[in-house]
């Protein structure tokens, strides 16, 4: 499968998806640590892709997303942004609402 197709599939199949360095329990950079902690505090399950284990995704996602850095948070198929945006949204309560609403909507679609 083409790497761009793989990325599209990952984004489509995961309501809340974080592309990061390392894993939420063992982040490999401060920005990824900050981002994953904020998302975990929202209390919803989320998927992640360790870009250090996936060099093709690491090389191609910035072009696909038109976003040069990692981490990248995707919610309901839309790019939210990187670490600073995630932190800012968490601080003002927007992230919790976004994540919760997306999780509720995804659960409703699964049950339907």
Binding site residue list for [2Fe-2S] cluster: 29
Give the 3-state secondary structure of residue 74: strand
Give the distance from CA 28 to its chain's centroid.
15
Do 98 and 44 contact (CB within 8 A), yes or no?
Answer: no
> Where is the binding site for glutathione, in residues?
21, 58, 70, 83-84
> Where is the binding site, in residues?
21, 29, 58, 70, 83-84
Alpha carbons within 13 A on the beta-carbon side of 73: 28
């Amino acid at each position: 499968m083409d790497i761009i197709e793989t990325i599209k599939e990952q984004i489509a199949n995961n309501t809340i998806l974080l592309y990061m360095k390392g894993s939420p329990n063992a982040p490999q950079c401060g920005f990824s640590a900050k981002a994953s902690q904020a998302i975990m505090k929202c209390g919803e399950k989320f998927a992640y892709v360790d870009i250090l284990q996936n060099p093709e995704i690491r090389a191609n996602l910035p072009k696909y997303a038109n976003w040069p850095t990692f981490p990248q948070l995707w919610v309901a198929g839309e790019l939210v942004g990187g670490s600073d945006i995630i932190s800012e949204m968490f601080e003002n309560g927007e992230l919790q609402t976004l994540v919760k609403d997306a999780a509720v909507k995804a659960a409703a679609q699964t049950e339907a």
